[in-house]
Amino acid sequence: MAKSFRELKVWKLSIDLTVLVYGLTAEFPKSEIYGLSSQMQRAAVSIASNIAEGSARGTRKDFKQFVSIARGSNCELQTQFLIANRLGFAEEHRIGEIEMLSHEVGQMLSGLSKYLSQPPKVRQTEN
């Protein structure tokens, strides 16, 4: 496993996702600044933040719990993409491109969760 959350590809992609969400929501109607825009931004930020916080907790069990929270935030974000699309707040292809990254992050979070569910491998020491 990585020594730091900064080395995790899923964390790096979740940062990319957050930047794209902020760019997307900047194009939403100004009346949504405290509505859907804010909700989407918070959900996106939560993904990377929970990966980072969980990795710092020190145990696999705690890390897995925070990865689970990140997965929930990612699903929340995917729901908000659908709502934004139906409301016509952005071009469908633009939302679709960002949503694809969200799905990739979701798959990686699932994989990380499975990895953290396994007992840690014991290192063999040389005598």
pLDDT for 101 beyond 60? yes
Q: Is the confidence at residue 1, as pLDDT, over 90?
A: no
Q: How many domains does the chain have?
A: 1
- Domain of 105 in residue numbering reads as 5-117
Residue 90 lies in a domain: yes
What is the spatial distance between Cα 12 and Cα 16, in angstroms, rounded to a whole number? 6
Question: Does some domain include residue 62?
Answer: yes
pLDDT for the residue 4: 87
Contact (Cβ atoms closer than 8 angstroms) between residue 78 and residue 47: no
pLDDT the model gives residue 39: 97
The mean pLDDT of 27-55, rounded to a whole number, is: 95
* pLDDT score recorded for residue 120: 77
In a domain? residue 122: no
Per the domain annotation, does 93 fall within a domain?
A: yes
- As to burial, measured by CB atoms within 10 angstroms (0-12 exposed, 13-18 middle, 19+ buried), residue 4 is exposed
What percent of the chain stands above pLDDT 90? Answer: 82
User: For residue 31, is it within any domain?
Assistant: yes
Domain with residue 50: its CATH number is 1.20.1440.60
In a domain, 123, yes or no: no
Element (H, E) at 111: helix 92-117
* Residue 126 lies inside a defined structural domain of this protein: no
In a domain, 54, yes or no: yes
Q: What is the pLDDT of residue 123?
A: 63
DSSP assigned state of 58 = S
